[in-house]
Structure 1
């Protein structure tokens, strides 16, 4: 027997979503005492759900598709109109394999070497400054790193502009009215820039290494044996750059966790296993992606709930990672909780999504996220610094969230 879904009254709840951010879905689920509800955002009816079972359902490709799920405005700025995120079935699998090949073990080793080199350079520069704003510095460091790794020429005079544009794309959907316009303009500049680079590669004016991400994407052939169009290839490159730079927020939150949990610092220096738990807890505890969206492929019933064909479905990532039925004392920062987590459980910890990495829509860059967090933590733990009075709080109605001060550190020095 089909059960009616708890449903929020009202014509549309987009404004509430913009005002509440990460807590929007969980607030309503808690209100109705249900892990699955119906709401309406951007004029569209949505089924929203949270928890491991919901995540397993959401990543069942026989039930859901991604094509057409994201609103056009959001898609154009965040991930592009024709990127891998919008593909399904065979097309998705082939494009996903290209990305996984780009992110292979050999490339990750090169990325680690480039990243560590850039950290060494950055720290020497920080030592010469009275104060740094950590998040701003990390965004520039990561922009230089990812362009170097991909094979994109990035001249010193352009570093500030490219970093600013990537930041604008990341913050396009905060609740500040001008951010979408700025993000859209930044995306157009980035597309023009990377499209020019792709043309240079294809006409032989730039010669990236054959195993580099730039080369692989520039010469990738789709399921019809055709090269990606220049705009589509540029989108895929940007879809490596933008989320890579977004890792800076995890790195920044790692520093915040150290500042706010004094007991963790000693163990991070001494216990490599604890470092793994710490990174996982940073991903779980701090806000990153609020939710992901898909569409029902066909009508079906799950747990007596009816999912109509083409109905938008939202998986509440932040709410799932803070669900009291899944996590003991979820509002406490406790790295030790991961001592007993089964690594085969792909649907419990879902900061960037869930499911199968190779065949599903799980984030292809998840391993690189962990790798970059580990490297960042390694270098941050080498530093001594003074912490001036500042507002370290972050707002859950701001997407993406960040410490209000972006973490100001003074008198940077290397530990003796």
Structure 2
């Protein structure tokens, strides 16, 4: 086996590396022309990997663990400090099972029906210029709350908007000091709100027998058959709500590829039934979302002929894997028909080449349980945007900064509807 090549990153190089954003790890790989590379960043040695073999090993609990791998600042904004993403072994299986039991075909049909109704109502109300990003944020928040068993009927529009903004603050809290502060504040407010909902559900379990996220987490237990602490249950309820609101990012990126690249729109519109799911998969592959995910090796592990020692802090380059020329032809091009014949329905095989929301097996591994919600969401939005409505497209900034996490068009996709 080959020793891991190392890139010496000097302090003066850090700004340029961080400005590379989604391409930062790719630059390290390019410098040594190797799929495995190590470097010291901010006094932390990191081993960076990408590609199909790397993903297969990375999502295998025999080789890697997630506990204590994610930097604390990320936990304080994005994921929460006691969530399923931080667990391993039996604890992970038990907690992940709660999420997976919510994702039944019937419940996915319920979600899609709710979303179609809410999105249709929201689009019908639009007159003049509006931001697709902002519209999607509110529609998705309202939809996932209703689907989860949360009644927003007693809240004002301003209160609903504020709660939705708290979800956004959590997943945008990595770009600057002010964004981070907003993310911490947003998480504290959101967790307090979720705890109040869960406490009410525990005291008045009217719908406890229904397969609703609010009641599932209100009654969830750990591996010792103890009721989850209210704080942990709140983190997990938000792990249903926040990622669904975050699909807003992909909706905005969908708007970019449809309305800024009219040839894509025309190709999809001309053969929508055959191309819709392929278009959605390619959208998730091609555009960046979060750039990487960390874990710690629990034994020596070989990846692409390189030996990674036990106890190494390893980051899997998600963006790099989705653009790996070793696995995909013309990986840096958007091909609407790339996944024709390969699209996923409600039951998936293991996945390691296109890992926009994680890889491997859903129950056993750290693959996002909400991937089905994502696919149904993008199906509904693509159908409405292509088939059901006609928009004019104002002049705007379509730029997607590669050093903004997650990134989306700067104008948030402006559309005009008469």
Common fold by TM > 0.5: yes
Residue 294 (structure 2) pairs with residue 293 (structure 1)? yes
- Please give the root-mean-square deviation of Cα atoms over the aligned residues, in Å: 2.0
Deviation at 1:149, TM superposition (A): 0.8
Q: Which 10-residue stretch deviates more, 339-348 or 296-305?
A: 339-348
Q: Which 10-residue stretch deviates more, 256-265 or 22-31?
A: 256-265
Residue 314 (structure 2) pairs with residue 313 (structure 1)? yes
Deviation at 1:81, TM superposition (A): 1.1
Equivalent pair of 2:136/2:248 in contact (CA under 8 Å):
yes
Q: Show the counterpart of 1:76.
A: 76
SS of the residue 1:263 aligns to: helix
> Structure 1 residues 342 and 253, CA, compared in 2 at 3 Å: closer, same or farther?
closer
Equivalent pair of 2:7/2:28 in contact (CA under 8 Å):
no
SS of the residue 1:61 aligns to: coil
Residue 367 (structure 2) pairs with residue 357 (structure 1)? no
Residue 327 (structure 2) pairs with residue 322 (structure 1)? no
Q: Show the counterpart of 1:135.
A: 133
Deviation at 1:301, TM superposition (A): 4.2
Aligned length: 409
Q: Post-superposition, which runs of at least 4 consecutive aligned residues in structure 1 deviate over 6 A?
A: 11-14
Q: Distance in 2 between matches of 1:324 and 1:203?
A: 54
- Partner of residue 151 from structure 1, selected from 124, 149, 152: 149
Q: Show the counterpart of 1:32.
A: 32
Q: Distance in 2 between matches of 1:15 and 1:356?
A: 37
Deviation at 1:77, TM superposition (A): 1.3
Q: Show the counterpart of 1:331.
A: 332
Q: Show the counterpart of 2:381.
A: 376
Q: TM-score, normalised by structure 1?
A: 0.93
Output aligned runs, 1:85-234, within 5 Å: 85-126=85-126, 129-154=127-152, 155-157=155-157, 158-174=159-175, 176-204=176-204, 207=207, 210-234=210-234
Q: Distance in 2 between matches of 1:44 and 1:15?
A: 16
Gaps of 5+ in 1: none
Equivalent pair of 1:151/1:209 in contact (CA under 8 Å):
no
SS of the residue 2:24 aligns to: helix
Residue 395 (structure 2) pairs with residue 407 (structure 1)? no
Q: Show the counterpart of 1:392.
A: 398
C-alpha distance after superposition, 1:365-400 (max 9, x if no partner): 111111110011111122212111111111111110
Deviation at 1:30, TM superposition (A): 1.5
> Structure 1 residues 345 and 204, CA, compared in 2 at 3 Å: closer, same or farther?
closer
SS of the residue 1:336 aligns to: coil
Q: Distance in 1 between matches of 2:351 and 2:61?
A: 15
Q: Distance in 2 between matches of 1:144 and 1:271?
A: 28
Equivalent pair of 2:102/2:213 in contact (CA under 8 Å):
yes
